[in-house]
Amino acid sequence: MAKRKKAEETTVVTPTGPKRTFLTVDPTTLVVGPNYGRGGYVGDEWEQLVADMCERFRADGQKRDVLCRRDGDALIVVDGHVRHAAAVKLGIPLNVCVDETILTERDAKIASIVSNIAEKPTVLQEAYVVQSLMDEGLTLTEVSAKFGRDNTNRASQLVKLLTAGPELKALVHQGTVSLSAACVVAGDEQAEAKYVEQVRAGEDASAVGAAAVRKPREPKEDTEDKPVRRNVSHLDGLVDELVEAEATSEPITNLLRKVAGFLRGTCTDIAVRNAIKKLG
């Protein structure tokens, strides 16, 4: 067996207090918590997982710490149940990471889901992790933060991907189709079928190619009650507010933005000229 370096107890401290403690323990002293990652493996399947991990321990030692949380004086295994079982079977000490921020069973489940993300997950694996986290009540913003991202764009796309059919998912999983391209047609059965056929034929697999097979939006009916008149009236009201704000030296940035928005809208040229004249 490869020689294992025993870890000294180390606590990583942040401005808000201790977050993670690293230490080496006797694995038999740990309490085994719910196995959210490999809970579906039982009997011979589980024994094979443990046996394979024992072989890895013998060859390379322990590569990843077992994630634990505190419950009074006890340490509960949150993630790394196979590694823990292998260490018990081999009778060797175990390196663990105690996350001091995991306080509840829900926290533990979320931490276990995040910990089971592969080092280089496929897009589809990411998508299922995102959905699992959202099933636990996390928002897109909170999910994105778990992935170390500041915006929710990718998380939104991953959720959209799960509405796709199996053939499109398979193409994304294989890397033939990008996430952004898949999201253009995901959930639209007819568009998906045309796009998948197009990709398998060696044709355009890009987002542009996906957009080309989507059913074009039907134009809005041209009714007598056009929005132009209402927009002109709203524009006049905004201009009046702008003039009044300027006269009283109040901040006008937001009003300017509103006016600019309507100038880019459906107002007629005459309405725009009248507004500019009033501001002039």
Chain segment 145-158, per-residue pLDDT in tens: 887 777 788 889 99
> Are residues 130 and 181 located together in one domain of the fold?
yes
pLDDT of 1 higher than 50: no
0.85 exceeded by the pTM?
no
Select from 75, 104, 133 the last residue of a domain: 104
Residues 203 and 260 grouped into a single domain: no
Q: Which of 213, 244, 261 is the last residue of a domain?
A: 213
pLDDT at 5: 42
Structural domain of 135: 123-213
Flag whether 244 is in a domain. yes
Which of 39, 28, 24, 18 lies closest to 97, judged by CA? 24
pLDDT higher than 80, residue 262: no
118 occurs within a structural domain: no
Residues 234 and 184 in one domain: no
Q: What integer is the mean pLDDT of 180-204?
A: 91
Q: Which of 54-58, 127-131, 216-220 has the lowest mean pLDDT?
A: 216-220
Residue with tokens 């568009």: 191
pLDDT of residue 171: 92
CA distances from 222 to 108, 227, 262 (A): 56, 10, 20
Number of domains in the chain: 3
Q: Give pLDDT tens digits for 133-179.
A: 888 888 888 888 887 777 788 889 999 999 999 999 999 988 899 99
**209 shares a domain with 234:** no
Q: Pick the last residue of a domain from 160, 182, 213.
A: 213
Would you say residue 246 lies in a domain? yes
Query: Is 237 in the same domain as 262?
Result: yes
**What's the pLDDT score for residue 213?**
82
